[in-house]
Amino acid sequence: MPNKTDQVVKIADNIGKAKILILGDVMLDEYLHGTVSRISPEAPVPVVEINHEQTRLGGAANVANNVRSLGDTPYLIGTIGLDDAAIKMSQLLKENDISHDYLVDDKERRTTIKTRIVAHSQQVVRADKEDAFEISAKVEKVILDRFEKVADQIKAVIISDYGKGVITRSLLEKLIPACIEKDIFVAVDPKDAHFFHYKKVSVVTPNHHEAGFVAGRKIRSDHDLEVVGKELLERLEAKSILITRGEKGMALFHASGEIDYLPTVAQKVFDVTGAGDTVIAVFVSAVAAGADLTEAAIIANCAAGVVVGEIGTASVTKETLVEELNKLYVKK
């Protein structure tokens, strides 16, 4: 990998001036925190006494929150139901200075909620409320209309696919060519069901489990990783593939054939929830600020190292990111 470390701090310091569209499955992440002191007499399960509750932006909304935390302006497009959760979603977006004007009301679907019960800093169980069937043609048209409304203003599009029905093959077949025509950078956080429909995008960011699954080969070694990365890059005809590898860091595959290996910079790994959202948000924000793909990956890798040290879905501010990059790469 070429030495880019002398440039990344300057690029990170320039983040925060772009408009970025985030399209995908928006959801609420609820956390019920408590303690366990006994087992239920009704079944062999712990009884969690709840003493603290949190509601955070999840899914594509968490990606938008990461973009906003860096100072960029996110346009969030997704669906919400006509329910109390939609009201909470709008309130949270307002609190985080994110417009909810581009969300689409869909009376056929509930707003997705993921509820996690956490005891003594450990997740005990998760309960999901969702309707994961595909959006209707009518809703798809509204989404495309909202994309067209901002297409001439944005630097990039992030497709945040959680498999809840907003991202469909039909939508991708219309959206991606429109972005290519307008020279808009397109990044995808993928779901395996749609993986080979993300054709010709700028970057796809699967984790190593997802990448190995869709390629039909478990990644047990660097050789496996290279085979999988190169195959996916070729089949997608993409400009790059960024495979996140947990405690092993990341690997960025370029269309030119080059591979950048980035070891993790995390000091501790406490919770990986939402780390993928942070990676794609920071990567795209860095590109919008002038980074090349390698520089963007270095900056995103640093951000991932910050958020996995936090409990729950997290985001990193531009100030924290610059501070961490300075610690890592600026010579004293």
What's the whole-model pTM score? 0.93
Angstrom distance (rounded) from CA 69 to CA 54: 19
pLDDT at 280 over 80: yes
- Is 277 marked active-site? yes
Task: Return the number of other C-beta atoms located less than 10 Å from residue 126's C-beta.
Answer: 12
For residue 55 the two structure tokens come to 């509601």
Residue for token pair 């067209």: 148
| Paired tokens of 180 | 């290519």
- Dihedral pair phi/psi, residue 267, rounded to 5°: -80, -30
Cβ–Cβ < 8 Å for 26, 92: no
pLDDT band at 327 (very low <50, low <70, confident <90, very high): confident
* Residue 273 clears pLDDT 60, i.e. is over it: no
pLDDT tens column, 281-316: 999 999 999 999 999 999 999 998 887 766 554 678
- Domains of the chain are 5-38+48-329 (3.40.1190.20)
Q: What is the pLDDT of residue 5?
A: 65
* pLDDT one-digit tens code per residue, 28-58: 999 999 999 999 999 999 999 999 999 999 9
Number of residues assigned to the chain: 332
Name the active-site residue from 25, 101, 277, 292. 277
How high does pLDDT run on average in the chain?
92
Beta strands in the chain (DSSP E): 19-24, 26-39, 46-59, 73-77, 79-80, 104-105, 112-119, 122-129, 156-160, 185-189, 203-204, 240-244, 250-254, 259-262
Quick check: 266 pLDDT over 70? no
Beta strands in 177-267 (DSSP E): 185-189, 203-204, 240-244, 250-254, 259-262
Checking if the pLDDT of 228 tops 80, the result is yes
Look at residue 265 in the predicted model and tell me its pLDDT.
81
Q: Dihedral through CA 118, CA 123, CA 129, CA 133, nearest 10? A: 160
* Torsions phi, psi for 203 (to 5 deg): -155, 145
